[in-house]
Amino acid sequence: MFNVNKEKCIGCTQCIKDCPVNDIILENEKADIKNEACIKCGHCVAVCPTKAISTDNYDMNDVIEYDKDSFKVEAENLLNFIKFRRSVRNFKNKEIEKEKIEKIIEAGRFTQTATNSQDVSYTIVTNKIEALKELAFESLNKKGEYILNNLTPETEHLKRYANLWTYFYKAYKEDPIKNDKLFFNAPVVIIVTANNEFNGAIASSNMNLMIDALGLGTFYSGFLQIASENNKEILDLLEIKDNKKIVACMVVGYPNVKYKRTVPRKAADINWI
């Protein structure tokens, strides 16, 4: 529940005005949270000028007081940071510190979710990465062979990928280190799952920014996501819950490449109405 310390509350009504579900009223010149429609978003905690509101649903030690120097990010720097980031597929043979992985997860944990559902989960693969890699290559090879053996006009566009998957598998079997075209010998894979795929997508995007800020690199592995579809062995290894969907597979490591500049993009498709 969310609670109001009546001694600290000054009845300014800021929490009442900012509550997205109108769950706070003013009673005897003090804020009173009904905890009926509350979605535990924490807006009231963040907006209260006297720190009168708290909750026993979450750890209040998570709350950090705003400080301009610590919180502000210059818009132009942020835009350049976004423009400069690249998908990395060339990694150093170097382990990632646990503290950095935890910061990546924090970036996901504090991402907004629809109705504050906080339904995003994270599977961090390190010790079982070789087992996951083996299963993924096998899965893609089987999918590729099936497509090639059952080509129709409707599946002709998949032939390119099917050939890639079967080729990758054969090359991997010949030399698992040199020919790892799936994880590129990265030390960590982070699987992001959610009930609501949009929530997981936003969390993944914020995690991506944190990865770059930590001096790491990543790419979203669509091939791993495809390999995992309807594959019980992979889903069991990842311990994915039945009600969760894999939203993103992030392959993470220290980059073994240095980029010198941003790259061009086609103009934005904008419709001003």
Helix (H, G, I), strand (E, B) or coil at 24: strand
pLDDT of residue 17: 98
DSSP structural state of residue 249: E
Distance CA(240)–CA(192), nearest Å, equals 10
pLDDT of residue 13: 98
pLDDT of residue 271: 98
Distance CA(122)–CA(112), nearest Å, equals 15
pLDDT of residue 207: 98
pLDDT of residue 16: 98
pLDDT of residue 241: 81
> Among positive and negative, which fits the CA dihedral 163, 169, 171, 174?
negative
pLDDT of residue 123: 98
Q: What is the 3-state secondary structure (H, E, C) of 6-19?
A: CCCCCCCCHHHHHC
pLDDT of residue 242: 75
Which residue is associated with the tokens 């990395």? 88
Q: Which residues of the chain have pLDDT under 50?
A: none
